[in-house]
Chain A
Amino acid sequence: MSQGKSELTVGKLLLQHGISRRSFIKFCTATASALALPPWMGPAMAEQLRNSPRPSVIYLSFQECTGCVESLTRSFAPTIENLIFNFISLDYDDTLMAAAGEAAEGARAKAMKDNFGKYVLLVDGSVPTGAGGAYCAVGGRSAEDTLREAAKGAAAIVCVGTCSSFGGIPFADPNPTSAWPVSAIVGDKPIVNVSGCPPMPEVITGTLLQFVTTGQVPDLDEHRRPKAYFGNTIHDRCYRRPFYDQGKFAKTFDDEGARNGWCLYELGCKGPTTYNSCATIKWNGGTSFPIESGHGCLGCSEPGFWDKGSFYSPLSTAAWGKAGEVAPRQVLELAAGAAAVGAALGVASAGMSRWRQHRSEQRTDSETKGG
C-alpha cells in the first residue's frame, strides 16, 4: 500500500465504487448483528469507518497448515473480499497475494516503512526456534527474525489460530522444532489471540473490524482472547445443554442417545472447558458446528489442547488430568528456549502461572463434573 492509498478513507473508496452510504449502514448493521455486537455498533461502525483511512495489514505465515487462511477466506460477515477491498489494505500475505519472491518481500518492507507504528500485524503459525530457525524460513530469513522485525512497527498483533496464540500442534509434546507462540517472542506490543484450529472466520474478521473501527484492542480474557467471542464456553451456549442438565448422554456415536441428539459429554466433548463462539455464530455461514454434526468439541481454542489426552475421553476421566503431566515439561522447555531468545524468566514465570491457572481450572471442572 502506498502512502496515498493509506490516506484514502473507506467512505471515499466506497463512493468511488458506487456503494451508497445507506448500503454501507445496512452492511454494518447486518455485520454487527451477525457478530453479536451491540446494535448501536452498526451505525457507529459505519460512521467511523467512512471517515477512517484503511489501515495497513501485514499477514505473516509461519509454522502452520494454512487452515487459518482457509478459514479466513470463508468469512460470511464480513466477506473476505469486502474486508480486503473496502476496509483494510492487505499489503502482504504470501498465500493470498499475487506477487512472489523479491516483489512480495519488497511490498512488505515498503508497507512496514510507510506505516511504521500504525499497521496491524496478523501472525499465523508458531515460531520454530530450533536448528537456528531453519525449520521455517521465508526469503532466506527465519520466522523469528521476520517476526521480531515486523513487530517493531506494529500498532497491534493479532495471532490468528492456536499455533501463533499458544503454540498449537507444533508446540505439542515433544515439540521437535522448539516452537513458540508469538507472545513468547514479542513482549512489548498489544497482542490479541484469536485461537482455534482453525479459528472461526467471523471471529477473525470481526476482531479485525472492531480494531479498525475503534482503533483499540478489544477487551481480552486471561488468554488475551476477545471476550466478545470467547466469553462463554461452548457448553454454556450449546443447544444440547438441556440434555446434559437432564443427565441424558450418548454412550456411543450410533446409539439411541446419539440419534436423539443427547449430550456428547461422555464421548469426550470438551465443550464445558472450551471458550469460543462455535455454538452461536456457527460455521459455514451459520450452517452448524461440530456438536450439531454429532461430534464432541475438541477444545481446539484452548492452550495445550493437543496434549490433554484423548479427544474421546470424558473430561472427568484421568486422561484429561494426565495432560497436566505434559505441561511442566513444556514450561521448562519454554524457560530454556526463552533464555535462548532473550526472554527467560518472565516468560517461564508467565508460562508456569498460566499452566497453574489452567490446571486449577481443569481440576475444578473435573471435580465438579466427576462428582
Chain B
Amino acid sequence: MSSSGVSAILTELVRLLDQLAAKQMPAAIDLRSLPLSPHDRTELKRALGHGEVEASVNAAGVSTLRETRISGVWWVEHRDAHGELIAELLEVARVPEILASASDEIAAAAQALRERLSLASRPC
C-alpha cells in the first residue's frame, strides 16, 4: 500500500468518527486485511500518534489497546497465549467493547460476593 493507501485509511477513519459521534455506532478497520508495508505501517502510526490511554487485557493471551492522538481511534492488538499476533485493528469507539464488564458477569459477581459476605458473617 502506498502513502495514498494510508490517506485512504485516514479518510475512512473520518467517516467512522462522524458515524460514532452522530449515531453512537462503533466500527473497526482490520489492519491484517490490508496489504500494509512496514513503511506504510510506520507512516500510519506516525499519523495517528499516541493518546492518553493505554490498557492491556489478560484473556487467553495479552491484548493491548492504545488510544491514538485522534480521540476515539484505538490501535488494538490481540495476541494468543503464545504471544502470536492473532488480530490487529483500528477500533473507532468511546471505549473498546472488550474493556467493558458484561452485565451478566456483573450480576454473577454480585451474587458471588454476596455469598462470600454471608459466609464470612456466619458465626464460627
Q: Which positions in A face B, CB cutoff 8 Å?
A: 11, 15, 19-23, 25-27, 29-30, 32-34, 36, 38-40, 42-43
Contacts and interface: CB of A to CB of B under 8 A. Distances in A.
7 contacts: A21-B104, A23-B60, A25-B98, A26-B63, A26-B78, A29-B89, A29-B98
Interface in B31-74: 32-33, 57, 59-61, 63
Nearest to A19: B60
A11 B108 CA distance: 13
A30 B86 contact: yes
A15 B107 CA distance: 13
Given A26-B87, A33-B88, 20 more contacts: A11-B104, A15-B108, A20-B59, A21-B102, A23-B59, A25-B97, A26-B57, A26-B59, A26-B63, A26-B78, A29-B87, A30-B80, A33-B33, A33-B89, A34-B86, A36-B33, A38-B30, A39-B30, A40-B27, A43-B97
Nearest to B88: A33
Contact of A22 (B29, B59, B89): B59
Contact of B87 (A22, A23, A33, A38): A33
A30 B87 contact: yes
Given A33-B32, A39-B30, A26 B98 contact: yes
Contacts of B6: none
Contacts of A26: 57, 59-61, 63, 78, 86-87, 98
A34 to B, nearest CB: 8
A43 B59 CA distance: 15
A26 B76 CA distance: 11
B28 interface: yes
Given A11-B104, A30-B78, A33-B87, A39 B60 contact: no
B89 A21 contact: no
A33 B86 contact: yes
Nearest to A22: B59
Nearest to A77: B86
Nearest to B27: A40
Contacts of B89: 29, 33, 39
A234 to B, nearest CB: 17
A19 B60 CA distance: 9
A364 to B, nearest CB: 29
Nearest to B33: A36
A3 B30 CA distance: 39
Interface of B: 27-30, 32-33, 57, 59-61, 63, 78, 80, 86-89, 97-98, 102, 104-105, 108
A30 B30 CA distance: 10
Nearest to B57: A22
Nearest to B80: A30
Q: Is the interface of A mostly helix, strand, loop or mixed?
A: helix
Nearest to B78: A26
A169 to B, nearest CB: 34
Contacts of B97: 25, 43
B107 to A, nearest CB: 12
B41 to A, nearest CB: 16
Contacts of B30: 32-33, 38-39
Contacts of A33: 30, 32-33, 86-89
> Which of A21, A29, A32 is packed against the most chain B CB atoms within 10 Å?
A29
A43 B63 CA distance: 15
A21 B78 contact: no
Nearest to A21: B102
Q: Which 4 A-B pairs have the closest CB atoms?
A: A39-B28, A30-B86, A22-B59, A23-B59
A30 to B, nearest CB: 4
Nearest to B103: A21
Contacts of A11: 104
Nearest to A36: B33
A32 B32 CA distance: 11
Nearest to A26: B78
Nearest to B86: A30
Contacts of A19: 60
Contacts of A25: 97-98
Nearest to B97: A43
Contact of A20 (B29, B88, B105): B105
A149 to B, nearest CB: 40
Nearest to A28: B87
A39 B29 contact: yes
B31 to A, nearest CB: 9
A20 B104 CA distance: 11
Given A33-B30, A36-B33, A40-B27, A22 B98 contact: yes
Contacts of B98: 22, 25-26, 29
